[in-house]
Amino acid sequence: MNFEYDDEQEALRDSVKALLGKAYGDFEQRRKAVDADPGFDDSTWRRLAELGVLGLPFAEESGGMGAGPVEVSLVAEEVGRVLAPEPFLATVVLAGGLVEAAGSDEQKAAVLGPLAEGESVVAFAHLEPGGRWSPTATAVTATSSGDGWALDGVKEPVPHGARADVLVVSAALPSGGTGLFLVDPAGTERSGYAVHDGSRAARVTFSGTAATPLGDGGDATATIATALDRTRIAACHQALGAMSFQLGATTSYLTSRKQFGVTLNTFQALTFRAADMYVSLELARSLTLWATLVSIAGSPEEIADAAARASLQVSKASRHIGQEAIQLHGGIGMTAEYAVGHYTSHLTALEHWLGDGRFHLSTLASCIGDHDEVDPIP
């Protein structure tokens, strides 16, 4: 058992931290980046590609680095720490992860190579208006027409869907089940918009749009579920980075801001609340680290369990820390020019993209009788 990064991982973290710190260490630069479409900085995206980050989890044959969940997690944490708007989770981890998991060798080479090189943005069009966090699709349907497939229906919100060069789309299959398809967005109608946290999403409408089955075709529900679970675990790390920043900003503010002639850390009612934020953060960190390690070699069921557990803990922590960070800052924490509130906005978006705490709690509650104790060590 070992919970520390090895030298290679530390080096990767240092590089990513340096790159992102340079890009967004000044929060004003981050505000500028999200102000204009596509909501992130193309040059930072290219630099991440040069560092190998955009191909990190893909096999070397697919043009990637062949790295594992730990490497992905530390990138996500650094992304979260500075709230970097580049769509690492949505594009590399989720959409790329699906292609890596289900695509044919040719598809992997065609999609993941350009993605890893920063030349192509890939998005997963899966969520449906009025739907929640199911791994299945119902509003978009696939029909087979002799030699090809066509999709109909609406996907929304599709994170970074308007900017995407390639869409991975889930659709209800005629035979039942949910299939995955590659779609050229030129055949769709897209309206893109900003999300409250500065990222981008879109409505994507399919009307007899040509689509190519990903890999062998057939029901991909399990593949989607596992890709979502892996993304959830990485998102927990992104949230850890964001919460660490918020706690640090809060303690700095408490030691510097004066009211009633003294700095705020004179008020025990405030410092005790900061201590409780630290407790929430460390508990969330422990469970998230564990989930990442489970996901290295775990079965899909084990990964699903670990993802739900980490997501629940991070949901509780991110609401607690996100709300308290603003409250302990007072008025300044509400303003758009100050960083801390944007982190709260992002944590809220992250949770509602992938599944909120109550959703994961219900999942865990429904199987509470299946086991006596949880033994974290295999």
Partner 1 sequence: MRLELSAEDAAFREEMRTFFTTQVPQEIRDAVASRRELSKDDIVRSQRILNAAGLAVPGWTVEWGGRDWTPLQRHIWHEEMQRACVPIPLAFNASMVGPVIATFGSQEQKERFLPPTANLDIWWSQGFSEPDAGSDLASLRTTAVRQGDEWVVNGQKTWTTLGQHGDWIFCLVRTDPDAPKKQQGISFLLVDMTSPGVTVRPIQLIDGGHEVNEVWFEDVRVPAANLVGEENKGWDYAKFLLGNERVGVAPVGQTKRVLAQAKEWARAGGVLDDPLVAAQFADLENDLLALELTALRVVAHSADGKPHPASSVLKLKGTVLQQAVSELVVDIAGPASLASGATADESDVDDWARVATPAYLNLRKASIYGGSNEVQRQIIARTILGL
Interface with a second copy (CB under 8 A): 267-269, 271-272
- Of the pair 157, 213, the CB lying nearest partner 1 is at 157
- Of the pair 22, 196, the CB lying nearest partner 1 is at 196
CA 268 to CA 133: how far, in whole Å? 41
CA 133 to CA 94: how far, in whole Å? 14
Find, among 353, 328, 195, the residue nearest to 255 by Cα. Answer: 328
Which residue from 25, 66, 129, 208 is in contact with partner 1, where contact means CB under 8 A?
129
Please give the torsion angle defined by the CA atoms of residues 316, 318, 323 and 327, in that order, rounded to the nearest 10 degrees. 120
Q: Which of residues 58-97 bind partner 1 (CB under 8 A)?
A: 70
Residue 261 to residues 249, 264, 273, 284, Cα–Cα distance (Å): 21, 9, 21, 36
- Of the pair 191, 272, the CB lying nearest a second copy is at 272
Supply φ then ψ for residue 365, to 5 degrees. -65, -35
Please give the torsion angle defined by the CA atoms of residues 68, 134, 280 and 266, in that order, rounded to the nearest 10 degrees. 120
* Smallest separation (angstroms) from a second copy to the CB of 274: 11
Kindly indicate which of the ranges 91-99, 113-121, 126-134, 238-246 contains the residues binding partner 1, using the contact rule CB under 8 A.
126-134
How many C-alpha atoms does 334 have within 13 Å on its Cβ side? Answer: 3
The residue type of 343 is Y
- Of the pair 129, 272, the CB lying nearest a second copy is at 272
- Of the pair 4, 258, the CB lying nearest a second copy is at 258
* Smallest separation (angstroms) from a second copy to the CB of 268: 4
How many C-alpha atoms does 162 have within 13 Å on its Cβ side? Answer: 16
CA 23 to CA 41: how far, in whole Å? 9
* Smallest separation (angstroms) from a second copy to the CB of 313: 22
Which residue from 312, 318, 320, 321 is in contact with partner 1, where contact means CB under 8 A?
312
How many C-alpha atoms does 24 have within 13 Å on its Cβ side? Answer: 24
Is 222 among the residues that bind partner 1 (CB under 8 A)? no
* Smallest separation (angstroms) from a second copy to the CB of 366: 17
Is 28 among the residues that bind partner 1 (CB under 8 A)? no
Is 334 among the residues that bind partner 1 (CB under 8 A)? yes
Q: What is the CA radius of gyration of the chain?
A: 21
Which residue from 16, 166, 307, 349 is in contact with partner 1, where contact means CB under 8 A?
349
Q: Which of residues 148-187 bind partner 1 (CB under 8 A)?
A: 154, 156-157, 159
CA 369 to CA 136: how far, in whole Å? 26
How many C-alpha atoms does 207 have within 13 Å on its Cβ side? Answer: 5
C-beta separation of 157 from 170 below 8 A: no
* Smallest separation (angstroms) from a second copy to the CB of 273: 9
User: From partner 1, a second copy, none, which one binds at residue 276 (CB under 5 to 8 Å depending on kind)?
Assistant: partner 1
* Smallest separation (angstroms) from a second copy to the CB of 315: 21
Tokens for 143, please give them.
């029909």
User: From a second copy, partner 1, none, which one binds at residue 312 (CB under 5 to 8 Å depending on kind)?
Assistant: partner 1
- Of the pair 36, 269, the CB lying nearest a second copy is at 269
* Smallest separation (angstroms) from a second copy to the CB of 271: 8
* Smallest separation (angstroms) from partner 1 to the CB of 120: 23
